[in-house]
C-alpha cells in the first residue's frame, strides 16, 4: 500500500501534524511541543504522536520558523559582500529613510547586515541595459576570491550593478567562488530585479541562512529512511525540494504563515468561495491575507525584523493585536495593543503574574472563554484575576466591569477592521466582496464582529481550524515563483525579447520541478505582468497564461486600472516586471466525509452568560463542535467549543456545519 503523507507545521510553541493515509481512507492529527534547539526532534515526535513510524511515511511536507526566527532575532552568520567598485556601502546607506518618525531615542534603522571590514569591491561595470562598460577580468576575480578567503569567511553574497539585466559578471565570479567557498549567494539568481539595495539585502540574508539550513536538511537526511521524502513549505505557499532550499533558504522566511494561507486556499476552492480574507488571530499578532479568485495574493517584497526581503511571498499583513494585547487608557481614549503580555507573564487571567488587562481577560469576563477550561501546560483561568485588572480600568473610565470588557472587544474589532480594510485597499480591492476564513487560537471568537464591521456577511471556521497550518502542508503542491524586471514600453514593444525572457524564467523554474519527477507537460505556468502608465511607480498586476499581444494586455490594464482607481487614460504604458509561477498538478481532495446525524448536538459545557459587542447579555447554550448536526441552521447567540478553540455566534447571526466539518456563520449586516 502507498505510505502515509504528513503535514507538519513546526511553530514557536507547538508543532501540529496531520497525517493522511495513502489511499485517503484515514486522517489523524496531533499537537506536540516544539523544540527550538532540535527541530528534527519535533518531526520525530510528531510522527510518533500520530502512531506511525517513519518507515510508514511516504512523504512529509513541513513548515518551519527556523529562518523567520533567525531574522527576527538577528542571529546572522558573518558574511562577505562583493559589490561593484564604489557600491559596497549600499548595504549601509539603504534607502536613507528612518522607521520611527517621532522616536528620537530609537535607532533609525537596524544596524547594517555586513560589517565594513567584510565589504569587498571588484573593478567591473555594466550600464543600464546590460552593456559592459568595464570588463571583469580573471585577475580581478582571483584577487577578490583570495581576499575573501584570507578574511576567513565561508559565506559570501555577490551583488553587482545591473546584474538583473546582464548576469555575466556575477556568473563568472560566482563560479570561481563556489569552487572554494561553501555558501555563495548571487543576486541575479535570488532577485533578478532592479533597485540595488533591495537586491543586495535579499542576497546577503539568503547567504547568511545557508549554513544553518544545510545543517538542518542534513540532519533530516540522516534520520529519514531512504524511501521517504521530505519537502519544505516555502513563503509563496507551495512546497520546495530540499536541494533548492539548500541554495535559497530565504524562501522559508514566511514558511509558517504560508502554510495557513495554503490551507485557506484549499478551503476556499472546496467551498466555491472566490475571494476570501484569512483571519488568523494569535496571542500577540493577527495575520491576514487575501485570496482572490482562489489564489493567495503574493507580495513582491516585505520587511521582516527590520530587514528588507524581496522575493515572492504570500502577502500576509501582521497586525499588532491579539489575545495578549494590553488595554490602557491614553488621554481619554481606550487603546488596545500593540504592547502585549506575551507568553510570559501572559494575560492576568493566566495567574502567572500578569498585572495589566488584556483582550483575553475581557474574553473571559464576557463569557467567550470557558472558565473551566485548562489551557496547555494546565493553566487554570482565573476570572477573579481578570475582574481585578479590568475592574481597575473600568473604574478609570467610569464604566461597569462588563462595559469595560465590551469596550476592549469593540476597540480590538475596530483596530482589526481598520487593518483589514488597509490590506484590501492597498491592493485596490473592495472588502465587501470577500468572505472571511477565521482560524488560530482567538480568531473564531472575534471573527463575526470583525466581519460585521467590514461589511462581510459570510464567515467560515474551517475544519481542523487549530491545526490548520499542518493541513496546508499536507495539501501543498510543488510550485516555484520568481519575478524579473522587463522594462518594456508599449510604444517600443519587442515580442522576441519578451518571449526570450519568459522562456528563460519559465524553464529555470520548471527544471527544479522536472528534477523532482514531474513531467514537463503536467506543469501549469502562470505569468503576472506588472504594468503601469509611464510615470507611475506602482504597477497594476495583470495575470495571464501567456503574454503575446500588447493590445490585449493594454486593454486588460486599462480595465484593471479603472476598477482600481475609477479612471483610465488610455496612455502609453510599460511592462515593468513579470512574475512567473510554475506548479505541479494539484492533489485531488480526499473525500473526507463527516457522517451526518439527526441527533441533537451535545452540550460541551453548561450554559453560561455571554455578553456581546452590542452590549446585550444572554444565557447561552455551549455546544460541542464534534457533535453538531450537518446542514442544520442554528440561530445565535451560541457558543461552540472544540478541544482547541471557541467559536462565538452573536445574536442575529446564524451558524451551520457542512458535510466536511466546516462551520459557516451568516453574519447579519442589517443595522
Partner 1 sequence: MSLDPVSLEVIRNGLAAIAEEMSMVVMRAARSPLLREAGDHSSALTDRHGYLVAQGQDVPVHLGVLSFTVREFLRVVPAGKLTPGDVWIVNTPEVGGNHLPDVKLIRPVFSGATLYAFAISLAHWADIGGAMPGSYYAAARDAWQEGLRIPPVRLVAGDAIDEEKMGFILANVRGPDERRGDILAQVAATRVAARRLEELDGQYGADFLIAAFDAIHDRAERQMREAITAIPDGSYTGVDYMDDDCNGGAPVPIRVTVTVAGDEATFDFTASADAVPGPLNTTRFIAGAAVFYVMRALFGPEIQASAGCYRPLTVITRPGSILDAGPMAPVVGGNHETCQRVADAVFDSLIPVAVDRMSAGGPTTAGLLIFGMQRPDGAWSTFYEVHSGGEGARIDRDGMAATRVHLANVMNTPAEVIEMEYPITVEFQAIRRGSGGAGAHRGGDGIRRGYRMRADDVSLTTMFERAVVPPYGLAGGDAGLPFTVKLIAAGGQEQTLGGKQNIRINAGDLVIAETCGGGGYGRAPEH
Q: Which residues bind partner 1 (CB under 8 A)?
A: 85-90, 92-98, 101-105, 107-109, 116, 127-129, 161-162, 194-197, 329-336, 397, 399, 406-407, 410-411, 414-415, 417-418, 421-422, 425-426, 428, 487, 533, 535-538, 561, 564-567, 569, 571, 671
For the bound state, the minimum distance from the C-beta of residue 101 to partner 1, rounded and expressed in Å, comes to 6
DSSP 8-state class, residue 70: H
For the bound state, the minimum distance from the C-beta of residue 245 to partner 1, rounded and expressed in Å, comes to 28
For the bound state, the minimum distance from the C-beta of residue 467 to partner 1, rounded and expressed in Å, comes to 32
C-alpha span between 302 and 323 (Å, rounded): 25
Burial of 379 (0-12, 13-18, 19+ CB in 10 A): middle
Per DSSP, the residues of 571-604 read --EEEEEEEEEEEPPPPPPP--PPPP--SPPPEE
Q: For 84-195, where are the alpha helices, taking DSSP H only?
A: 90-93, 138-150, 168-180, 187-190
For the bound state, the minimum distance from the C-beta of residue 354 to partner 1, rounded and expressed in Å, comes to 22
Using the minimum distance from each CB to partner 1, give the nearer residue, 353 or 572: 572
Using the minimum distance from each CB to partner 1, give the nearer residue, 1 or 567: 567
Using the minimum distance from each CB to partner 1, give the nearer residue, 272 or 566: 566
C-alpha span between 499 and 505 (Å, rounded): 10
C-alpha span between 253 and 383 (Å, rounded): 39
Using the minimum distance from each CB to partner 1, give the nearer residue, 397 or 503: 397
For the bound state, the minimum distance from the C-beta of residue 388 to partner 1, rounded and expressed in Å, comes to 20
Query: For the sheet containing 646-649, what is the strand order?
Result: 603-611, 617-624, 638-641, 646-649
Crossing angle (nearest 10°) for helices 138-150 and 168-180? 40
Report whether 412 contacts 368 (CB < 8 A): no
Using the minimum distance from each CB to partner 1, give the nearer residue, 131 or 548: 131
Report whether 310 contacts 191 (CB < 8 A): yes
C-alpha span between 199 and 164 (Å, rounded): 9
Per DSSP, the residues of 235-251 read TTSSEE-HHHHHH-GGG
Using the minimum distance from each CB to partner 1, give the nearer residue, 536 or 668: 536
Burial of 95 (0-12, 13-18, 19+ CB in 10 A): exposed
Using the minimum distance from each CB to partner 1, give the nearer residue, 285 or 583: 285
Using the minimum distance from each CB to partner 1, give the nearer residue, 53 or 128: 128
**What radius of gyration, in Å, describes the C-alpha atoms of the chain?**
26
Report whether 46 contacts 32 (CB < 8 A): yes
Nearest to 663, CA basis, from 646, 441, 148, 393: 646
Using the minimum distance from each CB to partner 1, give the nearer residue, 286 or 415: 415
For the bound state, the minimum distance from the C-beta of residue 329 to partner 1, rounded and expressed in Å, comes to 6
Using the minimum distance from each CB to partner 1, give the nearer residue, 305 or 596: 305
Report whether 289 contacts 297 (CB < 8 A): yes
For the bound state, the minimum distance from the C-beta of residue 301 to partner 1, rounded and expressed in Å, comes to 13
For the bound state, the minimum distance from the C-beta of residue 400 to partner 1, rounded and expressed in Å, comes to 12
Q: How far is CA 141 from CA 137, 175, 181, 661, in A?
A: 6, 10, 14, 61
For the bound state, the minimum distance from the C-beta of residue 407 to partner 1, rounded and expressed in Å, comes to 4
Pairing of strands 57-64, 229-233: parallel
For the bound state, the minimum distance from the C-beta of residue 118 to partner 1, rounded and expressed in Å, comes to 14
Using the minimum distance from each CB to partner 1, give the nearer residue, 13 or 487: 487
Using the minimum distance from each CB to partner 1, give the nearer residue, 45 or 426: 426
For the bound state, the minimum distance from the C-beta of residue 505 to partner 1, rounded and expressed in Å, comes to 19
For the bound state, the minimum distance from the C-beta of residue 205 to partner 1, rounded and expressed in Å, comes to 18
C-alpha cell at 666: 451568516
For the bound state, the minimum distance from the C-beta of residue 381 to partner 1, rounded and expressed in Å, comes to 24
Cα angle vertex 362, ends 357, 366, to 5°? 155
Using the minimum distance from each CB to partner 1, give the nearer residue, 568 or 630: 568
Report whether 59 contacts 229 (CB < 8 A): yes
C-alpha cell at 102: 517621532
Amino acid at each position: 500500500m502507498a505510505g502515509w503523507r504528513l503535514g507538519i507545521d513546526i511553530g514557536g510553541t507547538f508543532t501540529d501534524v496531520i497525517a493522511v493515509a495513502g489511499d485517503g481512507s484515514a486522517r489523524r492529527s496531533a499537537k506536540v511541543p516544539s523544540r527550538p534547539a532540535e527541530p528534527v526532534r519535533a518531526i520525530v515526535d510528531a510522527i510518533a504522536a500520530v502512531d506511525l513510524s517513519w518507515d510508514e511515511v511516504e512523504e512529509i511536507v513541513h513548515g518551519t520558523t527556523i529562518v523567520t526566527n533567525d531574522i527576527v532575532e538577528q542571529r546572522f552568520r558573518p558574511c562577505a559582500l562583493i559589490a561593484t567598485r564604489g557600491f559596497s556601502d549600499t548595504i549601509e546607506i539603504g534607502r536613507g529613510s528612518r522607521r520611527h518618525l517621532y522616536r528620537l531615542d530609537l535607532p533609525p534603522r537596524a544596524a547594517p547586515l555586513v560589517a565594513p571590514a567584510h565589504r569587498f569591491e571588484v573593478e567591473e561595470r555594466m550600464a543600464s541595459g546590460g552593456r559592459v562598460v568595464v570588463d571583469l577580468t580573471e585577475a580581478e576575480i582571483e584577487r577578490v576570491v583570495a581576499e575573501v578567503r584570507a578574511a576567513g569567511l565561508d559565506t559570501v553574497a555577490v551583488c553587482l550593478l545591473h546584474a538583473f539585466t546582464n548576469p555575466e559578471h556575477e556568473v563568472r565570479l560566482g563560479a570561481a567562488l563556489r569552487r572554494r567557498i561553501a555558501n555563495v549567494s548571487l543576486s541575479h539568481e535570488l532577485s533578478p530585479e532592479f533597485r540595488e539595495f533591495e537586491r543586495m539585502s535579499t542576497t546577503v540574508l539568503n547567504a547568511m541562512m545557508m549554513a544553518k539550513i544545510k545543517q538542518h536538511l542534513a540532519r533530516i537526511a540522516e534520520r529519514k529512511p531512504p524511501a521517504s521524502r521530505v519537502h519544505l513549505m516555502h513563503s509563496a505557499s507551495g512546497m520546495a525540494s530540499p536541494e533548492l532550499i539548500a541554495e535559497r533558504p530565504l524562501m522559508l522566511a514566511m514558511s509558517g504563515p504560508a502554510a495557513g494561507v495554503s490551507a485557506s486556499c484549499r478551503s476556499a476552492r472546496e467551498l466555491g468561495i472566490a475571494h476570501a480574507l484569512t483571519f488568523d488571530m494569535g496571542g500577540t499578532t493577527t495575520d491576514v491575507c487575501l485570496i482572490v479568485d482562489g489564489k493567495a495574493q503574493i507580495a513582491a517584497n516585505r520587511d521582516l525584523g527590520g530587514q528588507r526581503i524581496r522575493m515572492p511571498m504570500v502577502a500576509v499583513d501582521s497586525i499588532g493585536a491579539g489575545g495578549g494585547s494590553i488595554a490602557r487608557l491614553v488621554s481619554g481614549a481606550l487603546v488596545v495593543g500593540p504592547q502585549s503580555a506575551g507568553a510570559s507573564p501572559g494575560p492576568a487571567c493566566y495567574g502567572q503574574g500578569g498585572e495589566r488587562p488584556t483582550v483575553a481577560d475581557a474574553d473571559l469576563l464576557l463569557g467567550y472563554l470557558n472558565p473551566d477550561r485548562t489551557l496547555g501546560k494546565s493553566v487554570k483561568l482565573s476570572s477573579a484575576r481578570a475582574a481585578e485588572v479590568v475592574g481597575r480600568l473600568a473604574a478609570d473610565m467610569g464604566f461597569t466591569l462588563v462595559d469595560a470588557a465590551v469596550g476592549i472587544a469593540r476597540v480590538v474589532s475596530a483596530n482589526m477592521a481598520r487593518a483589514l480594510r488597509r490590506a484590501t485597499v492597498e491592493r485596490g480591492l473592495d472588502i465587501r466582496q470577500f468572505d472571511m476564513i477565521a482560524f488560530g487560537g482567538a480568531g473564531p471568537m472575534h471573527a463575526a464582529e470583525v466581519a460585521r464591521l467590514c461589511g462581510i456577511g459570510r464567515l467560515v471556521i474551517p475544519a481542523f481550524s487549530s491545526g490548520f497550518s499542518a493541513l496546508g502542508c499536507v495539501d501543498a503542491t510543488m510550485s516555484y515563483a520568481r519575478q524579473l524586471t522587463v522594462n518594456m514600453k508599449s510604444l517600443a514593444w519587442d515580442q522576441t525579447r519578451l518571449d526570450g525572457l519568459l522562456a528563460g524564467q519559465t524553464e529555470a523554474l520548471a527544471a527544479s520541478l522536472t528534477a523532482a519527477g514531474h513531467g514537463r507537460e503536467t506543469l501549469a505556468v502562470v505569468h503576472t505582468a506588472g504594468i503601469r502608465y509611464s510615470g507611475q511607480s506602482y504597477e497594476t498586476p495583470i495575470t495571464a497564461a501567456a503574454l503575446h499581444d500588447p493590445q490585449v494586455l493594454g486593454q486588460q490594464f486599462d480595465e484593471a486600472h479603472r476598477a482600481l482607481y475609477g479612471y483610465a487614460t488610455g496612455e502609453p504604458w510599460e511592462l515593468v516586471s513579470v512574475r512567473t509561477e510554475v506548479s505541479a498538478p494539484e492533489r485531488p481532495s480526499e473525500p473526507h466525509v463527516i457522517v451526518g446525524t439527526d441527533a441533537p448536538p451535545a452540550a460541551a459545557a453548561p450554559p453560561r452568560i455571554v455578553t456581546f459587542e452590542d452590549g446585550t447579555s444572554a444565557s447561552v447554550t455551549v455546544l460541542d463542535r464534534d457533535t453538531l448536526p450537518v446542514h442544520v441552521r442554528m440561530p445565535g447567540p451560541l457558543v461552540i467549543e472544540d478541544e482547541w478553540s471557541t467559536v462565538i455566534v452573536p445574536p442575529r447571526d446564524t451558524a451551520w456545519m457542512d458535510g466536511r466539518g466546516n462551520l459557516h456563520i451568516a453574519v447579519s449586516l442589517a443595522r
